Amino acid sequence: IDQERRAMRTTQDIVDALSTNLAPVRRQASPIMRTLLWLALAALVFSLLAMSHGLRPNLFTRATELPFQLEVIGALLTGMLAAFAAFVSGIPGRSKWWMALPLPALALWMVVIGQQCLTNWIVIGPEGMSLGESAECLATVGLTSLPLSLALVVMLRHAVAMRPLGTYVLGSLAVAGIAGAAMS
């Protein structure tokens, strides 16, 4: 009994020492607020990209075509839902099933996505060989992805501890969806 008392006193001393002079923990914003903040950054990146590169010349014509509309909607929804799911994945006690949230939007996007970026790397024309639209697509994806990826790394730094692989996959999917929409 004397040994148990010493152990309890030692344990209580440890608890007391750990709990004195604690600074309050600042609560993270809700997943929806963090998603909206990240999407605001994406809108800023979109705007800067449009100002520096201009809009695609046939955007208004393409916007009337259903496959194009579905591609853009699928890409945007994939990006938005994946970002939200990534932020939710870092909350202790939340179901891992939240990580499946972007799958329907991803399926839509994959069904309608065009192959133009995969098949148009080099154009052979009267002036000889030149880089095709795919090179521009790659540049657009890079310009869009870099700042959004860096922001997500910072914003998800605590969520990664809960479900590292799922959080990384969702974050990557979020950036890919938004970059895909920018490319369109």
Q: Name which of 70, 135, 142, 138 is nearest 107 in CA terms.
A: 70
Residue 123: what pLDDT?
A: 57
Neighbours of 179 (CB within 10 A): 24
The answer to whether the CB of 175 falls within 8 A of the CB of 152 is yes
Radius of gyration of the chain (CA): 24
Q: Which residues pair with 130 in a beta bridge?
A: 123
Residue 12: what pLDDT?
A: 78
Mind listing the pLDDT tens digit for each residue in 156-176? 887 777 788 888 889 888 988
SS3 91: coil
Residue 34: what pLDDT?
A: 95
Distance CA 75, CA 80 (A): 9
Mind listing the pLDDT tens digit for each residue in 124-146? 667 765 555 555 666 666 677 77
Residue 149: what pLDDT?
A: 85
Residue numbers in the chain where pLDDT is lower than 50: 115, 117-119
Residue 57: what pLDDT?
A: 83
Residue 103: what pLDDT?
A: 94
Token code pair at residue 33? 């607020």
DSSP state of 163: S
